[in-house]
Amino acid sequence: MVFRVSGRIDGMSVEALQQSMEKEKTKRCRLTIDLGEVTLVNQEVVEALGVAGQNELKNCPAYVREWVSRANERHD
């Protein structure tokens, strides 16, 4: 399953993303999140993507990948 996300991801849209990830998690399928068209994320989104670490991030902007990595280090 591939989720393609575009534009700005903020607090309102992160909730929908989290719900979608949870729904797919119950199906036990491999989830890829394609961030190729994302222009801006906030800290809440970074935290959600970090929690979703078992999912693959595809076309992830370098700054987002770095922030997710840092968020994961704080939680380990």
Give me the average pLDDT of each 10-residue run along the chain (76 residues): 87 81 76 89 84 76 88 75
What is the greatest pairwise CA distance in the chain? 30
The dihedrals phi and psi of 32, each to the nearest 5 degrees, come to -115, 135
What is the structure's pLDDT at 67?
A: 87
